[in-house]
Amino acid sequence: MFSLEITKDYQELSEKAAELVAKQLKKKANSVLGLATGSTPLGCYEQLVKLYKAGELDFSEVHSVNLDEYRGLAAEDKNSYRHFMDENLFSKINIVKEHTHVPDGMEENREKACKDYDAKILSVGEIDLQILGLGLDGHIGFNEPADSFSKGTNCVRLTDETIESNQRFFQSKEEVPQEAYTMGIGSIFSAKKILLLVSGKAKAEILEKALRGPVTPRVPASILQFHRDLTVLADEEAASALS
Ligand code: GLP
């Protein structure tokens, strides 16, 4: 069972998402937030910055773990997810930089990068609220369709569909890294609460599959149907294929 809330548009979705994060932080000031990148959570982050600037939110005790990072991109690279988070959220609120964690894209040794990030995730404690976007092929984090659900952090080869879809942030398709480090489905699933944000017509079909279809690693987000505390916020366009 999950709760599904359909909003009229992206703006309302972003406001509602920020309200849920704010509620979490008011309940527990030292919450661990699981954070996502991509265009979908951007509006929510903007709202959080607004609430912070209005004196309504305090991030000083918050710890965060991000879902993923491109392998081979440095923190300073404008396409890295570390840079995305710094630019769009961390630099605009009073979170302590040392409390924010993103996999190290510059660690070439895949095994070490994954082990280190799992250790980081363990060190911050249970994730209180995990924000997720949804990939066009049903991926969460960068966990692409596979034969089994991943447990811990893993290094994935991005699918062509994902590379093409993420190309919009880069100059050319060739520039998009082919691999990424991502938190595993097991770690994502361990979060106490999950908030899945989905916007736009292009996501309607995959959202329907994820929420109503069989639970299968071929649609990684479908595992969320089993989660105890999942809230799905979808705008009308994204929800248009749900009966
Ligand atoms: C990327 C990220 C995902 C994100 C997805 C969807 O692949 N790794 O975490 O959910 O894109 O992105 P968007 O929100 O831009 O559609």
* Per-residue pLDDT reduced to its tens digit, 1-20: 789 999 999 999 999 999 99
Residue among 139, 169, 176 whose CB has most ligand 1 atoms within 8 A, to mutate:
139
Give the ligand 1 atom nearest the CA of 39. 15
Q: What is the pLDDT of residue 1?
A: 73
Task: Give catalytic residue positions.
Answer: 68, 137, 139, 144
Residue among 14, 134, 206 whose CB has most ligand 1 atoms within 8 A, to mutate:
134
Ligand 1 near 68 CB (within 6 A): yes
Q: How far is the CA of 41 from the centre of ligand 1 (A)?
A: 9
Q: What is the pLDDT of residue 15?
A: 98
pLDDT in tens, the chain (243 residues): 789 999 999 999 999 999 999 999 999 999 999 999 999 999 999 999 999 999 999 999 999 999 999 999 999 999 999 999 999 999 999 999 999 999 999 999 999 999 999 999 999 999 999 999 999 999 999 999 999 999 999 999 999 989 998 999 999 999 999 999 999 999 999 999 999 999 999 999 999 999 999 999 999 999 999 999 999 999 999 999 997
Specify the residue with its C-alpha closest to ligand 1, atom 1: 38
Specify the residue with its C-alpha closest to ligand 1, atom 9: 141
Residue among 130, 142, 183 whose CB has most ligand 1 atoms within 8 A, to mutate:
142
Ligand 1 near 66 CB (within 6 A): no
- Is residue 206 within 8 A of residue 166, CB to CB? The reply is no
Give the ligand 1 atom nearest the CA of 68. 8
Ligand 1 near 164 CB (within 6 A): no
Give the ligand 1 atom nearest the CA of 37. 9
Q: What is the pLDDT of residue 243?
A: 73
